[in-house]
Amino acid sequence: MNIKQKGLLIVLSGPSGVGKGTVRKELFKHVDNLKYSISMTTRPMRPGEENGKDYYFVTKDEFIKRIEKGKFLEHAQFVGNFYGTPLDKIEDCINNGDDMLLEIEVNGATQVRHKLPEAVLIFLVPPSKKDLYERLKSRGTEDEEVIQARIQKADSEFPEARFYDYIVVNDKVEDAAKRILEIINAEHSKRIRVYDEYLKILNK
């Protein structure tokens, strides 16, 4: 039994191509009170993606208007496109005691860390840099120029791992998801999160 508490804000970050989406989908097979924050982006939709499921796809004008209205928890530009986490839903979810997972790149994760220091930051890394480059190339969803830009971007993102609470290697999707699940479970028992409720137990 878990002591009653607010939900966790979990940030899953790491270089593009590391497999954040695949690990996230695996993770969701094993948890029920975890919600996923659907991001907003200006990047073109890829084949197989759905508006409102993978992302909310919007125009640059629409995105900029939302920035001006303060509608994002964080937002960043990534290889020529905007990405952002809509603020609505996050507060409700956490106050209801549900955990919320954000799958975002490193600049966005830094913004979340500054705004909400209690967020749990997880950096997903590939077993090797070579492995990441090969994954980016074999994905077949981008042209060569975009792949090269993403590889360069990944190189600049690796050093950011030092600001994270956890580093998880995505050697095997199932194992990486299991490690993240263990982190989430452990975070739920952290003293700072449960101490007030614990004091109530003492008075029962």
Nearest by Cα to 132 from 113, 115, 114, 155: 155
Residue 103 is a binding residue for ligand 5GP (CB under 6 A): yes
Residue 24 is a binding residue for ligand 5GP (CB under 6 A): no
In the bound state with ligand 5GP, the residue whose beta carbon lies nearer, of 153 and 188, is 153
Residue 110 is a binding residue for ligand 5GP (CB under 6 A): no
- Reduce the DSSP state of residue 48 to 3 states and report it: coil
Integer Cα distance of 62 and 114 in angstroms = 26
In the bound state with ligand 5GP, the residue whose beta carbon lies nearer, of 82 and 99, is 82
Residue 112 is a binding residue for ligand 5GP (CB under 6 A): no
Q: Which residues does 27 contact at the CB level (< 8 Å), separation at least 6?
A: 34, 101, 177, 180, 181
Q: 129-138 vs 144-157: helix axis angle to the nearest 10?
A: 150
Residue 42 is a binding residue for ligand 5GP (CB under 6 A): no
Among 8, 9, 19, 20, binds ligand 5GP (CB under 6 A): 20
Among 35, 84, 166, 176, binds ligand 5GP (CB under 6 A): 84
User: Residue 127: left (phi > 0), alpha (psi -120 to 50), or beta?
Assistant: alpha
In the bound state with ligand 5GP, the residue whose beta carbon lies nearer, of 45 and 186, is 45
Asked if residue 101 lies in contact with residue 24, where contact means CB atoms within 8 angstroms, the answer is: yes
In the bound state with ligand 5GP, the residue whose beta carbon lies nearer, of 108 and 126, is 108
Residues that bind ligand 5GP (CB under 6 A): 16, 20, 39, 43, 74, 76, 78, 83-85, 103-105, 107-108
